[in-house]
Structure 1
Amino acid sequence: MKKNLAKALYITLLSTSLVSCQEYLDNNNEGKIPPVEFYKTQEDAFKGVVSIYAQMRKWEMVGFNYMIMLEITSDNALKGSAPGDAAFINSYKNFSFTANEGQINDFWKGRYQLINLCNQVISNVPAIPMNDGLKARYIAEAKFCRATFYFDLVRAFGDVPMPTSIENAQAEALKKTSKADVYAQIVKDLEDAAAVLPASTTGSEAGRATKYAAHGYLAKVYLYLKNWDKAIENTQTVISSGKYGLEPDFYQVFRVEKENGMESLFEVQASAVAGSGDLSNCQYSQIQGIRGTGGFGWGFCIPSDNLAKAFDDAGDAIRKKATILYKGETTPDGDLVQGVDVLEGVTVPRYNGKSYCPKSKQVNGVNEGSEQNVRKLRYAEVLLIDAEAKLNKGDVSGAATSLNLVRSRVKLAANNAPTMQDIWNERRLELAMEEDRFFDLVRIGQAPTVLQGFAAGKNEVFPIPQSLIDISQGSIKQNPGY
């Protein structure tokens, strides 16, 4: 599947004209196929779906903006790299960024470009004469993917434009839809997808959406909506399926050999193809990789001292070792972490261990670490969602059962009477450096006290890109405080 998705980057699709908002909601592939020639056959439908997966790993989706906005804004990470290199990143650490900052534009644009691809499938595939079962599946996959993109957008910006078809794109692109209505559409898309998608995928289809990935995302969405009953309903659907489990060795969860494995509900597929830099385009690992001597990356987005202390305070040596690679250490894969002597923000140089791609998996001539998939939803998180929802319902025993499965994997003592803060702390340590912490702090209401420079009533969301507001001639209003 990884090679299939890599090749799909060359698939060219008709992009929908969205008047002045085209730059933000359009798919700008080269060599676009005229509308009379595409979305005519079953093969066209397949190419349309696979192109969505392929573009999930592009720069605007998992590059700078992804880790800067969602991890460096939190207490987990710092800019890193050489002092002064990409100094603009520090504006996210102290919440001094503006609506003109490029990372915000990239986050917005990348997700709307993929929503446009999803909408093309959803709008055009129904009319294609083809196998009915495949038709339903392709539409379901597009709805699943669209839901994940809108989930990113609604958490990052609140009220956002919400095109749901190529027919309504022009009108919907120029106005905001309420946060509540966006969440309602996300739920509908995921429920529609769960009803159709296969229970599992294997072989060349590994990595494509399944019904349990949809239920896992539904559980997470309901966590944000504080609908504990629905969150539990969906976590239990995943748990009771018997299709998932915790990888015994936490370090191995993030290695290439375990991609799409027993713990993975969904991950972005990446691939290193020798001799093809265009196909080996994922830079998620490269951006965070070991910088300098013996290195294979740029050294950005490094774990903070605050995160290291949180691991130490919890006695969590196993997850700390897998999450933080310190200079001078040798990894279980045999790589000496040499790196550089100075990384901005810390006195002891270190790197993100979860994005680490061993030298044995590196391919010369392409982006460093481009073989490394990006984990999006893991079974461990499903268990922690289950624990949090059950504790909110007063089921302490049930919460402890799910929580302790996660703790026992990393040799931590059972906690049979967890508090909500215990579960939130566990989420931090389990999911550290996986681009979830900022949204979590906002969700649980702790961002104003934990994050320096965070302004309550403003920084819960990011600003709408100013260029979009200008293009819309003011029909799209800026978020409060910006």
Structure 2
Amino acid sequence: FFSCEDYVDYEASEGYTIVADDYFKTSADYEAALIGTYDVLQWNIYSIMIGDIASDNSLCGGESATDVVGLQKIDDMIHDPVNDQLTSTWKWMYEGINRANYLVENKDKMQFSRKAELYGEVEFLRAYFYFELVKIFGDVPLFTTSRLTAGDSATLSRSPKADVYSQIEKDLQAAIAVLPASKSTDGRATSFTAHALLGKVYLYQNKFDEAANILEPLIGLYTLPDNPQDVFLTSGENGPEAVFEVQHSKNSNWWDWGFPQGSEGSFGIIHHGIRGYNGTVYAAGWSFNLPSKDLFDAYANGDKRKKTAVLDIVAWAAETGAEYTSAYEHTGYYNHKYIPRAGSSAAQQELNYENNYRAIRYADVLLMAAEANNRKSNSEDTKAQNYLNQVRARAFGDDSKASSSTGTALTSEIWEERRLELAMEGHRFFDLVRTGEASTKISGFVAGKHEVFPIPQTEIDISGLIQNSGY
């Protein structure tokens, strides 16, 4: 059994060196390069974990205070520019952008029937990667016409986040114009997927009128399964609530501890496993990202999402006779949405869990649309109530918790509903920052500093980038 620190960092670009003159000879070459760009989505595990660990939703956990120090420091709000998890996230997202830009560089080499649609997917993916970067780091280097090479490092500068957001919007609008409404293959971007991501991008910029307009066509196109827990089982993947899921499979026998996130399975899942577990249903793991008592207690009686989001390991052990050992910062709770389940992995067990990441769900779309309609210039609170109440009705099985609030009271209810509905999915910290609540909800949060994370020190040293304030 490997510790979560027993692997080395992977220089992603080394595994993706292709000479364009020898490639892009057929449409199949373009399709293969596109799949390579999608692959990077599977690597992005840390920003998802940070979205809860940095918030009031969870504690870092692990084996000890020195287990994955970068995450421990983020949990305690004492993180600095030397942080392996932030550095990896930066490198991986720019690797995705590089792969997208490689396709852009070679766009005019040939024509083929699916070309416009394929480049719509490229634009969606580049927007996705840049959105991850801008919400984590703020101002970041922006390049769109070619790959970044080693020789370009010293020439980099950070573009204002407004410019980065403008490019994200441009890419998503272009994707919407050419992508089909329905997906040809699970995990592929569609016009509706791009609508949803653009709605979120608008929401992060307080562009509520634009968010309401772009999200409206999605209402009614998806449904909410009666039991929210079903959404997070293998049988619920790519189901009626799925707007966009990052695909994972246990079927590949390839794995490499030097590049643990590079298998087709999800490397993130093992992080959430029960430490020292011996029992049924679940599998042992590394006990990170432990839900807090504050989150557990936030759910009202009868809310089905409580057991969906949180496994009470003490109660489970008492009920089933399962055994476990206490993790560092043991809360008694585990992330039930992304927990290792028995039989859900193969080959190298820790690296090949098949659980998809539910990047955008319909419940998220409904709550984004509710907030946008509530906060836009001419608010439509009746519509906002309707969207909020659809989410609550699924959670409680009836309309007993329907809201009739308006104005800022309704805004607060929507924000709290996002916490309960999307708990342990990587959204909480970023929601608290964008709504201005972080300094009152997160212990140790320093306003004017912690809204963004530090630029990795390696990028400061190599490229001379200016560091974020306070770091």
TM-score for both structures, normalised by structure 1: 0.86
1:391 alignment counterpart: 374
1:408 corresponds to which of 393, 409, 433 = 393
Shift in alpha-carbon separation, 1:149–1:316, aligned structure 2, 3 A: farther
Shift in alpha-carbon separation, 1:324–1:139, aligned structure 2, 3 A: same
1:262 corresponds to which of 232, 235, 240 = 240
Q: For residues 343-369 of structure 1, what are the alpha-carbon distances to aligned partners after superposition, in whole Å with 9 as ceiling and x for unaligned?
A: 22235x221000024314333543366
1:118 aligns with 2:118: no
User: 1:328–1:337: 8 Å Cα contact kept in structure 2?
Assistant: no
Secondary structure of the residue aligned to 1:362 is coil
User: 1:27–1:117: 8 Å Cα contact kept in structure 2?
Assistant: no
2:273 corresponds to which of 276, 289, 292 = 289
1:422 aligns with 2:422: no
Secondary structure of the residue aligned to 2:468 is coil
1:28 alignment counterpart: 14
2:287 alignment counterpart: 299
1:43 corresponds to which of 18, 28, 50 = 28
Number of aligned positions between the proteins: 440
The residue identity in structure 2 corresponding to 1:381 is: D
After the TM superposition, which residues 160-239 of structure 1 pair with which residues of structure 2 at under 5 Å, given as runs?
160-166=140-146, 170=152, 174-202=156-184, 205-239=185-219
Secondary structure of the residue aligned to 1:351 is strand
Q: Shift of residue 94 of structure 1? A: 2.0
Q: For residues 138-190 of structure 1, what are the alpha-carbon distances to aligned partners after superposition, in whole Å with 9 as ceiling and x for unaligned?
A: 11101101101111111111110011121677389601111111000000100
Which stretch shows the higher mean deviation, 120-129 or 220-229? 120-129
User: 1:161–1:172: 8 Å Cα contact kept in structure 2?
Assistant: no
1:127 aligns with 2:109: yes
Q: For residues 391-449 of structure 1, what are the alpha-carbon distances to aligned partners after superposition, in whole Å with 9 as ceiling and x for unaligned?
A: 11332211100000000001151112252111100000000011111111110111111
Give the distance between the partners of 2:375 and 2:19, measured in 1 at CA.
53
Q: Shift of residue 198 of structure 1? A: 1.2
Q: For residues 107-156 of structure 1, what are the alpha-carbon distances to aligned partners after superposition, in whole Å with 9 as ceiling and x for unaligned?
A: 1111001110011112213322322xx11111110110110111111111
Deviating runs (4+, > 4 A) in structure 1? 328-331
Secondary structure of the residue aligned to 2:425 is coil
User: 2:124–2:175: 8 Å Cα contact kept in structure 1?
Assistant: yes
Shift in alpha-carbon separation, 1:182–1:262, aligned structure 2, 3 A: same
Q: Shift of residue 310 of structure 1? A: 1.1
1:7 alignment counterpart: none
Give the distance between the partners of 2:228 and 2:73, measured in 1 at CA.
33
User: 2:275–2:326: 8 Å Cα contact kept in structure 1?
Assistant: no
Secondary structure of the residue aligned to 2:115 is helix
1:481 aligns with 2:470: yes
Shift in alpha-carbon separation, 1:45–1:172, aligned structure 2, 3 A: farther
Give the distance between the partners of 2:178 and 2:64, measured in 1 at CA.
50
2:6 alignment counterpart: none
Secondary structure of the residue aligned to 1:307 is helix
User: 2:367–2:418: 8 Å Cα contact kept in structure 1?
Assistant: yes
Secondary structure of the residue aligned to 1:361 is coil
Shift in alpha-carbon separation, 1:121–1:402, aligned structure 2, 3 A: same
Q: Shift of residue 299 of structure 1? A: 1.4
User: 1:207–1:267: 8 Å Cα contact kept in structure 2?
Assistant: yes
Give the distance between the partners of 2:146 and 2:412, measured in 1 at CA.
44
Give the distance between the partners of 1:72 and 1:308, measured in 2 at CA.
15
1:342 aligns with 2:331: no
The residue identity in structure 2 corresponding to 1:75 is: D
1:449 alignment counterpart: 440
1:143 alignment counterpart: 123
User: 2:50–2:74: 8 Å Cα contact kept in structure 1?
Assistant: yes
Give the distance between the partners of 2:204 and 2:154, measured in 1 at CA.
25
Secondary structure of the residue aligned to 1:317 is coil
User: 1:329–1:337: 8 Å Cα contact kept in structure 2?
Assistant: no
Q: Shift of residue 78 of structure 1? A: 0.6
Q: For residues 308-367 of structure 1, what are the alpha-carbon distances to aligned partners after superposition, in whole Å with 9 as ceiling and x for unaligned?
A: 1111xx335311111111225559xxx9583523122235x2210000243143335433
2:228 corresponds to which of 250, 263, 266 = 250
1:17 alignment counterpart: none
Shift in alpha-carbon separation, 1:101–1:274, aligned structure 2, 3 A: closer
User: 1:39–1:125: 8 Å Cα contact kept in structure 2?
Assistant: no
**RMSD in angstroms over aligned alpha carbons?**
2.3
Give the distance between the partners of 2:14 and 2:222, measured in 1 at CA.
37
2:62 alignment counterpart: 81
Q: For residues 259-299 of structure 1, what are the alpha-carbon distances to aligned partners after superposition, in whole Å with 9 as ceiling and x for unaligned?
A: 11111111111010264335444211111122212233211
The residue identity in structure 2 corresponding to 1:46 is: E
Give the distance between the partners of 2:269 and 2:321, measured in 1 at CA.
15
User: 1:160–1:175: 8 Å Cα contact kept in structure 2?
Assistant: yes
Shift in alpha-carbon separation, 1:368–1:320, aligned structure 2, 3 A: farther
Give the distance between the partners of 2:321 and 2:139, measured in 1 at CA.
44
Give the distance between the partners of 1:387 and 1:358, measured in 2 at CA.
34
The residue identity in structure 1 corresponding to 2:56 is: D
Secondary structure of the residue aligned to 2:350 is coil
Give the distance between the partners of 1:280 and 1:215, measured in 2 at CA.
27
Q: Shift of residue 75 of structure 1? A: 0.3
User: 2:389–2:403: 8 Å Cα contact kept in structure 1?
Assistant: yes
User: 2:250–2:354: 8 Å Cα contact kept in structure 1?
Assistant: yes
User: 2:65–2:72: 8 Å Cα contact kept in structure 1?
Assistant: no
Shift in alpha-carbon separation, 1:231–1:168, aligned structure 2, 3 A: same
Shift in alpha-carbon separation, 1:378–1:173, aligned structure 2, 3 A: farther
1:95 alignment counterpart: 77
Give the distance between the partners of 1:422 and 1:440, measured in 2 at CA.
13
Ranges in structure 1 where 5+ consecutive residues have no aligned partner: 1-22
Shift in alpha-carbon separation, 1:36–1:215, aligned structure 2, 3 A: same
Secondary structure of the residue aligned to 2:393 is helix
Give the distance between the partners of 2:374 and 2:312, measured in 1 at CA.
36
After the TM superposition, which residues 317-336 of structure 1 pair with which residues of structure 2 at under 5 Å, given as runs?
317-329=303-315
Give the distance between the partners of 2:174 and 2:158, measured in 1 at CA.
24
User: 1:67–1:301: 8 Å Cα contact kept in structure 2?
Assistant: no
Ranges in structure 2 where 5+ consecutive residues have no aligned partner: 1-9, 257-262
User: 1:299–1:351: 8 Å Cα contact kept in structure 2?
Assistant: yes
